[in-house]
Amino acid sequence: MKNRCTVVILIDALGYELAESFSAAGLERRVRLRSTLGFSQAALTTILTGCDPQDHGLWMMYSFARRSSPFSWLKYLPGCISSKKLWLRKAIRWKLERLDGVRSYYSLYEVPRPVFPNLDLPSRKRMFGPGGAGEKKNIFDHFIRTGARWRVWDYSVDEKLAFEELERELKSSQEGFYMLYTADLDSMMHIHGISSEKVERKLILYRERIERIIGAAPDARIMVLGDHGMCDVTRGIDLIAIVNSLGPGTCAGFIPFYDSTMARFRVTSERAGRELEGLLSGVDGGMLLNRSSLERMGVFFNDGRFGDVIFLTDPGTIIVPSFMSSEPIAAMHGYDPGAGCMYAAMLTNFDSGGLEMDLREVARVMVPDFEAGDKQ
Ligand SMILES: [Zn+2]
């Protein structure tokens, strides 16, 4: 008998709570997936490798540079030139893509120019392909080794077109592994919030499209899942102003990186580090993450490449302004994975082995003969 093909529809930010009202005929099994601390790069790489971020290494889009930085040339520009200048953004992109060979998804966001030369981009290849997880093996490396047939539609393909192509392909051939990834729902919720009418309409559209996919391949193993949930934003804290209140002397002793829900600091002066920790431990709206909580969440890095001091905001609270955006947004993720709103959903038409799972277990559900680990 021919092996059943597997179809994975990976909807960024399809949270468990959100999916409670989402149903598609044929997908009766529902799993609550515990996500990982971080943003989509961390969660998606965990799904594709079966490893925690501290093992696959692609925790955050930006790390602090350990040796050379692909942005080091920016320190030779006059201090008055902002990284918001269009010509400079084009030059940064040209250098990253042409000279550094960056093929991964990245954004320059609103990272200030003086911070860039201290940063690195740990992810260099396309995530949804062989080599996408660096030293670690992902499911696509596994397919290359086993000679399995696979096809992927990722963020580079328009969502509507991807669903149409997937349906057409399944009507003509059902062999191997098919994966469709879309980030449209994630972007929509960031702008409009979780319970907006637009989101409701989007879920209805997904249900229709997924039912067409099930209709085109009724014998396939079908999985629909998210990588994390989403929380409505109820509060913003101006952490940059709070940290800057330490004064320029102390602030010269660390390099900050302000994500929307996390502030990470590379500390270069012990005294400044102690003052920073003292200040952050008293900030209302978040908490400092110590070594044991980072280890428990699978995101502890001994060399501090993502920061020696890490502050995480409470669910629903964002750092604004941050290096991501100077404006508040309606909903966010990147909180403690134990928060109810952070769980992702996985819906299948087969028994995946439990009602509660960890994101690391998804790789083995998608590809039963996959074993997590190094490439060779
Ligand atoms: Zn997002």
Section 18-39 average pLDDT = 90
Q: How many Å lie between the centroid of ligand 1 and the Cα of residue 332? A: 7
Q: Is the peptide bond before 321 cis (omega within 30 degrees of 0)?
A: yes
pLDDT in tens, 10-24: 999 999 999 987 888
Instruction: Give residue-wise pLDDT tens across range 192-210.
Output: 999 999 999 999 999 999 9
Phi, psi for 309 (deg, rounded to 5):
-125, 125
pLDDT band at 1 (very low <50, low <70, confident <90, very high): very low
Tell me: the pLDDT tens digits for 295-332?
Answer: 999 999 999 999 999 999 999 999 999 999 889 899 99
**Distance from the CA of 46 to the center of ligand 1, in angstroms?**
16
pLDDT at 82: 86
Q: Alpha-carbon torsion 11, 12, 16, 18, what sign? A: negative
User: Distance from the CA of 40 to the center of ligand 1, in angstroms?
Assistant: 7
- Cα of 272 vs centre of ligand 1, distance in Å, is 32
| Single-letter residue type at 357 | M
Query: Is residue 24 within 8 Å of 235, Cβ to Cβ?
Result: no
Q: Does domain 6-55+126-231+337-366 have CATH number 3.40.720.10?
A: yes
Report how far ligand 1's centroid is from the alpha carbon of 334 (Å): 8
On average, the pLDDT of the chain sits at: 93
pLDDT tens readout for residues 140-176: 999 999 999 999 999 999 999 999 999 999 999 888 9
In the chain, pLDDT over 70 holds for what percent of residues?
99
Dist. CA 21 → ligand 1 center (Å): 21
Pairing of strands 286-288, 63-64: unpaired
Name the nearest CA neighbour of 212 among 154, 153, 170, 149: 170
Residues in Cβ contact with 238 at an 8 Å cutoff, skipping those fewer than 6 apart: 319, 320, 321
Mean pLDDT on 224-235: 97
> What digits encode the pLDDT tens for the residues 45-69?
999 999 999 999 999 999 999 888 9
Query: What number of other Cβ atoms are within 10 A of residue 198's Cβ?
Result: 13
160 C-alpha to center of ligand 1: Å? Answer: 19
Give me the residue spans of the domains in the chain: 6-55+126-231+337-366, 234-328
Measured in residues, the chain has a length of 376
* CA gap 175, 195 in Å, rounded: 38
Quote the ligand 1 centre to 119 CA distance (angstroms): 21
Which residues are within 8 A (CB) of 322 and not within 5 positions of it... i.e. 6 or more apart?
110, 239, 240, 258, 259, 260
CA–centroid distance, 285 to ligand 1, in Å, is 20
Q: What is the mean pLDDT of residues 215-234?
A: 96
- Helices 184-192, 197-216: axis angle to 10 degrees equals 170
Chain segment 335-360, per-residue pLDDT in tens? 999 999 999 999 999 998 889 999 99
Residue 39 Cα to ligand 1 middle (Å): 7
Q: How far is the CA of 297 from the centre of ligand 1 (A)?
A: 19
d(CA 321, CA 323): 7
If you measure from the C-alpha of residue 12 to the centroid of ligand 1, how many angstroms do you get, rounded to a whole number?
A: 7
- The pLDDT-based confidence of 376 (bands split at 50, 70, 90) is low
- How much is the average pLDDT of 186-193? 96
Question: What spacing in Å lies between the alpha carbon of 333 and ligand 1's midpoint?
Answer: 6
Residues with Cβ within 8 Å of 169's Cβ and at least 6 positions away in sequence, in order, are 151, 178
Residue 29, pLDDT > 90, answer yes
Higher pLDDT, 15 or 109: 15
- Ligand 1 centroid to Cα of residue 229, in Å, is 9
- 189 CA distance to ligand 1 middle (Å): 8
Distance 255 CA to ligand 1 centre (A): 25
CA of 10 to the centre of ligand 1 (A): 14
Q: Please report how many Cα atoms fall inside a 13 Å half-sphere around the Cα of residue 170, on the Cβ side.
A: 29
pLDDT at 75 over 90: no
pLDDT score of 374: 83
Residue 46 to residue 41: CA distance in whole angstroms: 8
Ligand 1 centroid to 155 CA: how many Å? 13
- CA-wise closest residue to 260 among 110, 83, 95: 110
Provide φ and ψ at 256, rounded to 5°: -95, 155
Task: State how far the Cα of 339 lies from the Cα of 342, in Å rounded to an integer.
Answer: 5
Lowest-confidence pick of 107-116, 227-236, 286-295, 296-305: 107-116
Give residue 356 CA to ligand 1 midpoint distance, Å: 23
Q: What is the CA(7)–ligand 1 centre distance, in A?
A: 23
Q: Taking residues 260-265, report their average pLDDT.
A: 97
* Gap from CA of 131 to ligand 1 centroid (Å): 23
Contact 47, 53 (CB under 8 A): no
Domain at 234-328, CATH class: alpha beta
